[in-house]
């Protein structure tokens, strides 16, 4: 099996994280023995393991597992990939959409593998800028296309629920390699993602 399932990644360290959540609940003034809360440390620990399982996964391996020789020379675009990640500053969610385009150089990759590598990098503590580059460099280094572009549009809960409390601001980040640095190719990509 080239990479592990979500379930396999959720097991290690759950007990340690569980007792940490128990302390957090006590410190915010909760009664950790009451019915609705008693299993919360374990649930929260499993959820946290799920949301950070990307540390244990190898995105290059995912791409290499489904690369096929193909003489297609035009742009391949996978747009509107749902994104859920956690910001490394507050460990609060940021969420939005990822758009990935590439121009093959003799090899294409199985389409599902692009959202899969987005999830691998998103399921780590992140900043949006690094997430953008992680996805970009992984595709560029592994698939070695003629060009690749990544755009992420996201909203950050740490700016919505707390802090500056801005509900409608969105952040866009982008990165381009190879032919996507040419104005014409980049414009075509940006036009296609709308």
Ligand X SMILES: Nc1nc2c(ncn2[C@@H]2O[C@H](COP(=O)(O)OP(=O)(O)OP(=O)(O)O)[C@@H](O)[C@H]2O)c(=O)[nH]1
Beta carbon of residue 44, minimum distance to ligand X (angstroms, whole number): 21
Range list of β-strands (E), the chain: 67-69, 76-87, 93-103, 107-109, 125-126, 147-156, 171-178
Neighbour-count burial of 101, counting CB atoms closer than 10 A to its CB (0-12 exposed, 13-18 middle, 19+ buried): buried
Residue closer to ligand X (CB basis): 28 or 164? 164
List residues binding ligand X (CB under 6 A). Answer: 87, 89, 127-129, 156, 158-159, 163-164
CA 81 vs. chain centroid, Å, equals 10
Beta carbon of residue 114, minimum distance to ligand X (angstroms, whole number): 21
Binding status of residue 90 toward Zn ion by CB under 5 A: yes
> 99 among the known binding-site residues?
no
CA 123 vs. chain centroid, Å, equals 6
Binding status of residue 148 toward Zn ion by CB under 5 A: no
Residue closer to ligand X (CB basis): 4 or 89? 89
Concerning whether 99 is annotated as a catalytic residue, the answer is no
Concerning whether 90 is annotated as a catalytic residue, the answer is yes
Concerning whether 128 is annotated as a catalytic residue, the answer is yes
> 90 among the known binding-site residues?
yes
Binding status of residue 150 toward Zn ion by CB under 5 A: no
Beta carbon of residue 167, minimum distance to ligand X (angstroms, whole number): 14
Q: Specify which residues 96 forms β-bridges with.
A: 83, 154
**Interface with Zn ion by CB under 5 A: which range of 21-29, 38-46, 76-84, 88-96?**
88-96
> 138 among the known binding-site residues?
no
Distance CA 55, CA 60 (A): 13
Neighbour-count burial of 68, counting CB atoms closer than 10 A to its CB (0-12 exposed, 13-18 middle, 19+ buried): exposed
- Are the C-beta atoms of 158 and 90 separated by less than 8 Å? yes
Q: Where does this chain bind Zn ion (CB under 5 A)?
A: 87, 89-90, 158
Catalytically active residues are 87-90, 128, 156, 158
């Amino acid at each position: 099996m080239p990479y592990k399932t979500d379930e396999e990644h959720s097991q290690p360290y759950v007990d340690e994280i569980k007792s940490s959540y128990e302390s957090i609940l006590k410190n915010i003034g909760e009664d950790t023995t009451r019915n609705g809360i008693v299993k919360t440390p374990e649930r929260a620990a499993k959820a946290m393991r799920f949301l950070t399982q990307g540390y244990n996964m190898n995105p290059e391996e995912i791409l290499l597992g489904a690369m096929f020789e193909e003489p297609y020379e035009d742009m391949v675009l996978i747009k509107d990939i749902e994104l859920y990640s956690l910001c490394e500053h507050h460990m609060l969610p940021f969420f939005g959409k990822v758009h990935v385009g590439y121009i093959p150089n003799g090899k294409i990759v199985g389409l599902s593998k692009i959202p899969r590598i987005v999830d691998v990098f998103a399921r780590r503590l992140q900043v949006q800028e690094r997430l953008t580059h992680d996805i970009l460099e992984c595709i560029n280094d592994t698939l070695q296309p003629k060009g690749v572009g990544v755009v992420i549009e996201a909203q950050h809960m740490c700016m919505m629920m707390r802090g500056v409390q801005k509900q409608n601001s969105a952040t866009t980040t982008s990165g381009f390699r190879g032919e996507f640095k040419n104005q014409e190719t980049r414009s075509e990509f940006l036009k296609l993602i709308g």
